[in-house]
């Protein structure tokens, strides 16, 4: 599971380094909550996910599905 920007103390540190800039590309325009990540992990540990193997699940509000390489380069080039 690959969490995106999560509203935690550590996540807020990322906000200062430009990660928050990626939220403008997200389908859900906010930081995720720790309980949302926990719910996904809890589901993955149940029998309902018993056929789920060898996959990375992005839990990032849609950022990874919408950010292009050009967007990533633009964000990376911005002075911090």
pLDDT at 79: 65
- Domain ranges in the chain are 2-77
pLDDT at 24: 81
pLDDT at 17: 67
pLDDT in tens, the chain (80 residues): 999 889 998 888 877 666 777 788 889 989 999 999 999 999 999 999 999 999 999 999 998 888 788 877 877 776 65
d(CA 52, CA 61): 21
pLDDT at 56: 94
d(CA 70, CA 64): 13
């Amino acid at each position: 599971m690959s969490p995106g920007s999560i509203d935690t103390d550590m996540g807020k540190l990322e906000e200062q380094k430009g990660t928050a800039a990626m939220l403008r590309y997200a389908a859900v325009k906010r930081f995720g909550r720790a309980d949302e990540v926990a719910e996904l992990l809890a589901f993955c540990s149940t029998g309902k996910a018993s056929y789920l193997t060898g996959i990375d699940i992005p839990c990032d509000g849609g950022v990874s599905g919408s950010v292009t390489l050009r967007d990533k380069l633009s964000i990376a080039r911005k002075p911090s």
